[in-house]
Copies of this chain bind each other. A is one copy, B any other.
Amino acid sequence: MSKKTVTSITNREIDFSQWYTDIVKKAELIEYSNVKGCIYFKPNGYGIWENIQKIVDSKFKNLGHENVYLPMFIPESLLQKEADHIEGFAPEVAYVTQVGNEVLEERLVVRPTSEVLFCELYKSVLESHRDLPKLYNQWCSVVRWEKTTRPFLRTSEFLWQEGHTVHDSAKEAKAHTLTMLDVYVDLFENYLAVPVIKGIKTEKEKFAGANSTYTIEALMFDGKALQCGTSHFLGNSFAKAFDVTYTDKNNKLKSPYQTSYGISTRSIGSIIMVHGDNNGLVLPPKIAPTQIIIVPIRQNKEIVQEKSLQIKEVLSKLFSVKLDLSDKTPGWKFNEYEMKGIPLRIEIGPKDIENNSCILARRDTGEKTTVSLDNIENTVSNMLDSIQKNMFETARKRRDENIREAHTFDEFTNIIETKQGFVKAMWCGDVACEEKIKEITTASSRCIPFGSSKINDKCVCCGKDATKAVIWGKAY
């Protein structure tokens, strides 16, 4: 069978998991590696990540971040210095034990995250309160050996950014944690068109070693939750464990307060699962590597080629545009670029040219419109804006419709069994209830959302007094 034939994909309402696998392969985002849970990012997949990087890097730099690069290897003894941290990561780290023919004296851990390395770096960098705050960020890959893996969502190696900062006060560090959470909200909602709920993680779900973990949670088309980004207030426990100090204004030795935060290539998974449909991937214009595909009709006519090239030239000044002049049929091309999720298709043939027009086909709604070639760049620009907006609104509407309140445990289990989606329910704060809910319903606490109003006064699990409204859901 030809690798390039556009073949149909599994129906997403019938087998969502297979549909996802079909998309990542047929939209040519990845290939599977022979190494468990590792993937090859192909140009279509990596191009999305490059766009996300550009957006995030620029936002980070505007906020005063500087990029650094730290080693991928952590001596085992170093990772063990912060007890909670190592406990959280030990089961899933990869160890380098040998180099050439030589067995190493101390095993090296391939970084699962770099808190301990940033502590080492800050130790050598910090001297006085004048050096604070310092906002460092790193783009790299990290390794966490997971039992169950799936492209983008959970891979043995993944790409991410990890921000790590040091501050003079807990207050400032906490505020920064929230500032960065908002940067992630902005990225997901305004660029990836993925609506998110922001809140704080419970003690059980927080990052290993953190004081508190803030999160953004999104709802996928199948009703499952995806944690899209986290921002941690670390207190000064890492700094203390690693002897990171500076002299404050009163010339006293102090440990700085730290934060860390990250988003990863998992974000690509969220785009697929929020926007994709039965024709393939659907990419928001703001992060699509190719925003517009031009498909000429009866391209053997000279005028059609000429006009197509002309339109391409005009639009390329403002957008990322491709023109397909291959000998495939227009129908084949339509399917192919729908599969790849290109937000806007321009069809142009002899008849259109006679009328000084072309056809715009939106990927999000499938709608076709005949428009004038005059001022085509404005028309296209408006349509891309409209696609971006519509994709977000559609996703938000679906998400909102799938947040359901549960006042009793029966209601809770019933929602999870019959409807999926997010469940909003009160919680007493006892980890025993949280664990029981997870055990029985398989739904975990996603977050305690900011500014969320109470729906009643009793824990949905034990019936005791409860003040916290929690968002629960089955999660990836």
Binding site for B on A (CB under 8 A): 2-4, 31, 33-35, 38-43, 46-47, 49-50, 66-75, 78, 90-101, 107-108, 110, 117, 120-121, 124-125, 127, 130, 136, 140-141, 143, 145, 156-157, 159, 326
Contact = CB atoms under 8 A, between A and B. Distances in A.
Given A46-B68, A92-B100, 11 more contacts: A38-B71, A40-B71, A41-B69, A43-B67, A50-B67, A72-B110, A73-B94, A91-B100, A94-B96, A94-B98, A140-B141
A46 B69 contact: yes
Nearest to A33: B71
A202 B445 CA distance: 63
Given A2-B127, A100-B92, A124-B3, A67 B38 contact: no
Contacts of A67: 43, 46-47, 50
Contacts of A110: 72, 96, 110
A94 B98 CA distance: 6
A93 to B, nearest CB: 7
* 5 interchain residue pairs of minimum CB distance: A43-B66, A38-B71, A41-B69, A99-B145, A95-B98
Given A68-B41, A141-B72, A98 B100 contact: no
B75 A127 contact: no
B35 A127 contact: no
Contacts of A124: 3, 31
Nearest to A136: B43
A313 to B, nearest CB: 16
Given A94-B96, A98-B97, A99-B94, A69 B159 contact: yes
A5 to B, nearest CB: 10
A141 B47 CA distance: 19
